[in-house]
Structure 1
Amino acid sequence: MTSTETGLRSRLVDVGVDLVAREGAQALTLREIARRAGVSHGAPRRYFPTHLELLSAIARRGFADLAGRVAAVIGDGTAGPRAQVAALGRAYLEFALDNRGMYELMFRHELLESGHLGLRDTSLPLFGVLAELVGRTRPEADARAVAGALWANLHGIAQLWGWGSLQLATGAEDFVPLLRTALDAHLGPEDGR
């Protein structure tokens, strides 16, 4: 691929990332991405033969952004594993709530199942980090099962908080008490509490 082709491919993804941030996942049509990129409506098909491939490239950027945020809050590993899980959970929830369109796109089943651009392989390392930290926090437990349950809990908090349901049901003003409760439920109470 020439540098011009690589540049246009990247520009199409950039436009998609911007579009999903501004208008949500439903706005990501090939025609609209092409229009905003300033190319013909057929041009994206040269670089992304299917719509799913373009959506997967956009979602891949979301996973990269989330992974970067998690790496930044986990830091150099000097904090204990439970504190790192808490930081990961908070970063996950903040990402989900601040980037609702991208978050929705990233977890669309047909994208993860399609295998385009190794999207599933892009999402799995983050789960691996969570499972490793859970294993260090609860060495007696099946770390992958506990991490899966915790991730499902975080995902549920993100969805229900984004819809306003948890605020209504719990009267909570932020998700931190819910995060703490989820951590206690899956990892046991934090020492000193």
Structure 2
Amino acid sequence: MTESDTSLRDRLVDVGVELLAAEGPQALTLREIARRAGVSHGAPRRHFPTHLELLSAIALRGFAGLAERVRQTLDRERGGARDRLAALARTYLDFALEQPGMYELMFRHDLLESGRLGLRETSLPLFSLLTGLVATADPDADAPRVAGALWANLHGLAQLWRWRSLQLATGQDDLAPLLETVLAAHLGPGDGR
């Protein structure tokens, strides 16, 4: 692949990321990305033979961004495993609420199942990190099961908060108490480990 091919590939993904942030996942057509990148509508096919492959490349950027945010958060957090879990959870929720289009794209079942660009493998280290923190916070827990339930709960919390359903149902406009309830439900009150 030549440097110009690499730069066009990167530019198409950059345009897709920008379009996703501005207009949401429904705007991510090959034709619109090509138009905004200033290339013919057939040009993306040289790098992304299918629409799914281009979407996967865009989602891969999202996973990389989330992983970097989590890394930075955990580098700053000096508390025990439960504190680190709480910080990771807040970072995950912040990402989901700040970048809803990317978040939605990243967890699309068809992209994860397609095997394109290793998206499943890209998302698994974050789950492994979550599982390790759960195991440290509660050595007696079935860490993968608790981490899975916690992740599902966080995912649902992000979606329902974004849709404003939780605010309506609970009468709360602060996500922090709900997050603490989620953590307590899965980890117990904790002792700061």
Q: Shorter-chain TM-score category?
A: over 0.9
Report the TM-score, using the length of structure 1 for normalisation: 0.97
Equivalent-residue separation in structure 1 for 2:26 and 2:177 (angstroms): 32
2:75 aligned partner, one-letter code: G
SS in 2 for 1:189: coil
Aligned CA RMSD, in angstroms, stands at 1.1
Residues 97 and 162, structure 2, Cα contact 8 Å, conserved in 1: yes
Q: Which residue of 2 aligns with 1:121?
A: 121
Query: 1:16-40 CA distances to partner (integer Å, 9 max, x unpaired)?
Result: 0000001001100000000000000
Stretches of structure 2 lacking an aligned partner (at least 5 in a row): none
Matched residue count: 192
Q: Which residue of 1 aligns with 2:40?
A: 40
The within-5 A match list for 1:98-177 is 98-177=98-177
Q: Which residue of 1 aligns with 2:85?
A: 85
Equivalent-residue separation in structure 1 for 2:4 and 2:62 (angstroms): 24
Residue 172 of structure 1 and its aligned partner are, at CA, apart by 1.1
Query: 1:118-161 CA distances to partner (integer Å, 9 max, x unpaired)?
Result: 01001110001000000000100110000000000000000000
Residue 77 of structure 1 and its aligned partner are, at CA, apart by 6.4
Residue 174 of structure 1 and its aligned partner are, at CA, apart by 1.9
Stretches of structure 1 lacking an aligned partner (at least 5 in a row): none
Equivalent-residue separation in structure 2 for 1:146 and 1:118 (angstroms): 25
Moved more, 169-178 or 157-166: 169-178
The within-5 A match list for 1:2-81 is 2-75=2-75, 78-81=78-81
Which structure 1 residue ranges, 4+ long, deviate > 6 Å from structure 2? none
Residue 191 of structure 1 and its aligned partner are, at CA, apart by 3.7
Equivalent-residue separation in structure 2 for 1:73 and 1:91 (angstroms): 7
SS in 2 for 1:75: helix
1:125 aligned partner, one-letter code: P
Equivalent-residue separation in structure 1 for 2:94 and 2:169 (angstroms): 20
Q: Which residue of 2 aligns with 1:189?
A: 189
Residue 56 of structure 1 and its aligned partner are, at CA, apart by 0.2
Moved more, 37-46 or 167-176: 167-176
2:126 aligned partner, one-letter code: L
Equivalent-residue separation in structure 1 for 2:77 and 2:174 (angstroms): 27
SS in 1 for 2:126: helix
Equivalent-residue separation in structure 2 for 1:127 and 1:19 (angstroms): 28
Residue 79 of structure 1 and its aligned partner are, at CA, apart by 2.1
2:81 aligned partner, one-letter code: P
